Structure 1
């Protein structure tokens, strides 16, 4: 009998400091289900100098590249959108979460939000997590 062990899927969450509690909630729910978080930026304080920015930037870049999927919790800042771009360039599945329908409004949306490897989820964090659990198990 062959036993196949699967390695846990790895994820990274991008967002803004204003969503730090939401990021921690989603992180905790995923790690409780056995997913592996590649980097927890919520443990950082805001960078005070350029050296800290570089250190954090390198860690976040590596974390995105190691991830099997990326989660973007909107609203996200410029860093989150750069991480979104890194995931697109590396053909990583992106779960783009919005709490409202603004993501479909032509005044707020982006061309890149609607590419093939981007899965838009509008609603609650529970709906986001259910979508991930279904697609990433």
Structure 2
């Protein structure tokens, strides 16, 4: 077993028109719906938070990564970060990879 990356947002060009946003949105939504697990890297932008909500609404397992304790400060957090179905992890990216690798076996 292993993992399949359902979408690589790093390959997107900067959207120059609403039509581009629509096409990207369709692809990103499909990727969330096709995934078993979602990894959200904090600090995250608007799109990532929409994907987080979509994943939670679909009952997906969400892994939320923060490089520091800021996620526990009220000015930097949201109620959704602290739901029982969210695996909140604080540490290094290498530690995150090690932690989620158990789901790939």
Q: Same fold (TM over 0.5)?
A: yes
- Asked whether 1:44 is paired with 2:12, we answer yes
Alignment of 1:1-137 (within 5 A): 8=1, 34-137=2-105
Unaligned 5+ runs, structure 1: 1-7, 9-33
CA RMSD of aligned residues (A): 1.0
Unaligned 5+ runs, structure 2: none
Q: How many residues of Structure 1 are paired with residues of Structure 2 in the alignment?
A: 105
Q: TM-score, normalised by structure 1?
A: 0.73
Structure 1 runs, 4 residues or longer, greater than 3 Å off: none
Q: Distance in 2 between matches of 1:74 and 1:46?
A: 21
Q: Aligned to 1:107, what secondary structure does the other structure show? A: helix
Q: Distance in 2 between matches of 1:103 and 1:75?
A: 9
